[in-house]
Amino acid sequence: MNRMAQGLILVLLGAAALGTTLFSELYLNYVQSAFRPFLIAAGGVLVVLGGAVIATDLRAAARSDDGAGGHGGGHGGAAACGHGDGHGAESGPRVAWLLLLPVISVFVVAPPALGAYTAAAQGASSAPDDRVDLSEYRDDPFAEAGDGPVELEMREFVSRAWTDEERTMADRTIELTGFTVPNPEGEGWYLARLEMACCAADAVVNRVLITDEPAPEEDTWWRVRGTWEEPEGDLQQVRDHRFTVEEMEAVQDPPDPYE
């Protein structure tokens, strides 16, 4: 791989970063939205560096050609030989071509966000060791909603289901949105959502078990409205939070699939 190819790869990598952030929301399949400015900056730097490498190599080639043209045959042959040696010394390892794989994956394959396969393989998240401070979500979403349905994020519902010792969610109509995951144990199916702290690599699953409705197609997105099946005993011992469905409707995949 010569310097020209190295510069071209830098430009392509930068273009991939800029294309997934400036002209689409594809980057949300892999990282949180807070990383957008950093991806834009990194993409811009890569494009500038790659362009500089290409321009430098073109100028060096032009100067070498001018020098070779101004000398006699024997001297010119030596200059040409020296030019070839210089490029051989600047060549990188062939394995560097593997840097093209991320570019190809973004522009050609466009890997989707994590979904049902990851959720089924990972299983449900465990109950928190410490009591969760629910004020990080909202002061009191149930008071704000009055007698109407309460729309909750999946992670908020799961956190409350594990820590709501006063059972304030009982008998309240709750609305959840997520994608469908088959239950490998055979009972019902899961409505799930993936939560990530930084990127898709650290995503954890939050889910509810639904047994009173036929399982929709895997990896499709649904908005369900229903009630929490209040468990008996210690909430921290609950493995799967059960949800009774009153209404459900198919929805489009959200631009940001993670919570």
Q: What is the CATH number of domain 116-250?
A: 2.40.50
CA distance 198 to 20: 17
Helices (H) and strands (E) in the chain, counts: 7, 6
Residue 247 vs residue 92, higher pLDDT: 247
Residue 234 vs residue 46, higher pLDDT: 46
Report domain extents, the chain: 3-109, 116-250
- Please write the tens of the pLDDT for every residue from 200-218: 778 888 999 999 999 999 9
CA distance 131 to 159: 9
- Please write the tens of the pLDDT for every residue from 213-256: 999 999 999 999 999 988 877 777 777 889 999 999 999 988 78
Residue 78 pLDDT level (bands cut at 50, 70, 90): very low
Residue 248 vs residue 12, higher pLDDT: 248
> Please, what is the angle between helix 73-90 and helix 36-69, to 10°?
160
- Please write the tens of the pLDDT for every residue from 154-186: 988 988 888 877 788 888 899 999 999 998 777
Is pLDDT at 89 greater than 70 in this prediction? Answer: no
- The predicted pLDDT at position 98 comes to 76
Residues in the chain: 259
pLDDT (average), residues 30-57: 90
pTM: 0.69
Query: Which residues have C-beta within 8 Å of that of residue 57, sequence separation ≥ 6?
Result: 2, 3, 4, 7
